[in-house]
Structures are given as C-alpha cells and as structure tokens.
Amino acid sequence: MRPATRNRPGWAAALGIPLLLAAAGLLQQRIDARTRSEALEGQEVLITSGPLLKKLSLGYDSLLADIYWTRAVQYYGSRIGERTATFDSLAPLLNIATTLDPRLVVAYRFGAVFLSEPKPLGAGRNDLAVDLVKRGIRANPNEWRLYNDLGFLYYWRLKDYADASATYLAGSEIPQAPIFMKLMAARIAEKGGSIETSRLILSGLYESTKDPAVRKALLRQLRALKAEEDTQHLDQTLGVFRQRFGRDPDSIRELVTAGLLPGVPVDPLGFPYVIGRDGRSHLNPASPIKPPK
C-alpha cells in the first residue's frame, strides 16, 4: 500500500481508507446486482473514472487499482463460457485499474487475454486488447513481456505478421529481453503463420506465466493448434489413399487397414478424428477442442 505524502493533512489521510472501501463496496454491489441485467451493464463505470478516482484516492491509488483489477478478474470469471454473456464493463474496469496504477503490468498482460479471447470465452475485442497493451508499453517502456504480449496479439489474433515481427524486434532491444524475442522476430518474418512458429509463440507465453486462467486459455489454443497440425497430416494421408485406390475411404480406420497409419489417431483430449462429407479429416464432433480462430 502506498501511503500519502508526509505533508498531507491528517484528516485527509484518515478519510482515505474509508473512501476507498466505500467506493469498492459500491462497485461490488453494482456489479453483483446486475449480473444478469443488460440494462445496468456498465453502470458501475458511469459514476467513476480512472482520473477522478486517482484524485480522490488521497495517495492510495495503488490500493484502489488492485481492487479494480480484482473486480475485473471476478467480472470476467463470472461470465466466461456463458453463451449470452456480455463483457461490456471489462475494458472500462481494466482502464480504471491501469489509470490508477500505470505500473500494474499484470492488468495489461492478462487483461489483454480476457479481452481478446473469442466469445463466449472472452470479449472477442482484439482492438481493445491491442490498445490496452500499447498503453502498458507507453507506461512501462522497459517491460519486454508487454512487447511479447503485443506480438502475440498481432500474430495469433490479427494475423498481422509484419507488425508482429516488428513488435518482437522492438522488444528484443530492451536490455533484459531474452534472446528468443529476436529469434521470434526473424522467424515470423521468414515463416509467417506457420504452425511451428505459432507453437513456439504459444509455448513461450505458456511457460512465462503462472496465472491459472491465462495458462488454461493458452493450453486450449495449444491443443487446437496440435489438432490443426494432425488434420493436415491426415489430409495428406487421405490423398495417398485416393491415389492408391481411386476412391475416398469410408473411415479413418480404412487408412489403418491399408497400412498407411499405425492406428486411429486421436486429438490431444483422446477423441478420434473423423472424415467429413467434404472428404477431409476433422475433429470429432464430441471433442471439446475448437479449431483455431
């Protein structure tokens, strides 16, 4: 907790904590009371703003930022996976938290994941996620991890390989940045959107964070990427079968019988792949894995 300056009047400091607790309590009541009400969506932000709260925080802006960040996490967690859920207040909550404490790096990093996850797993707002991380970089120019996150957004979400490569290269120039930042810049510039490059980026992010929600999201994407790679290889095998027998196989098991596969392949969650009506391999309809977007 960051205390008020020594010259601040005693009464002002004494009022600081009650005001913060009152603001936090009001915020929580408004969020919880309208969990299912679209009409009240975002109302908790209409009466507050980052700059205003910063003025009223009496030096406890870091504490209040933590409160708003916690509420953003709770707000996101209470809606994730619900088909009809909206995330309209997520970006305002994150903006307030990072305005109160521009050095709250965790809010930029993981908030961008929450914003960029496609619905119903997140807000599906890549634009807001990019804006959030860019503000984080401006406030924390020596934090290479934010460049890593921005490069990921450009690469994975927006398929903008030129900006992704440039972002990794810019981040690699920070003294504390690991060598893989420069390697990723070169790799993306050379290979574009290859599966191998995507795996390297996702694996690097997965290993660099301990947050359970973010790791879960990244693991979901890694599984989807593995499934995409598997189906590409299966489609090649299907092509060999057609050349050899002059027809499409009735099932993937026929590829095994023909000696083209050692066994029926399964996705990372153990569900066998299937052949669709288009003659190509696909994820099993029963599999929870969703193709990459």
- Tell me: the pLDDT tens digits for 130-160? 999 999 999 999 999 999 999 999 999 999 9
- Residue 147, phi then psi, degrees to nearest 5: -65, -40
The Cα 71–Cα 27 span in angstroms is: 8
- Taking a C-beta distance cutoff of 8 angstroms, is the pair 262, 269 a contact? no
What sign has the CA pseudo-torsion 4, 138, 105, 19?
Answer: positive
pLDDT digits (tens, 9 = 90+) for 171-224: 999 999 988 898 888 888 877 778 888 888 888 778 877 778 778 888 988 999
Encoded tokens for 280: 């190509």
- In angstroms, rounded to a whole number, what is the distance separating the alpha carbons of residues 86 and 71? 16
Q: Is the pLDDT of residue 40 over 70?
A: no
Q: Per the structure block, which two tokens stand in for 234?
A: 């299966």
| pLDDT at residue 271 is higher than 50 | yes
Residue 50: per-residue pLDDT: 57
Confidence bin at 257 (pLDDT 50/70/90): very high
290 phi/psi in degrees, rounded to 5? -110, 140
Residue carrying structure tokens 């120039």:
173
> Per the structure block, which two tokens stand in for 162?
């030129």
DSSP 154: I
The neighbouring-strand residues paired with 282 are 274
Burial status of residue 77 (CB atoms within 10 A of its CB: 0-12, 13-18, 19 or more): exposed
Residue 16: pLDDT over 60: no
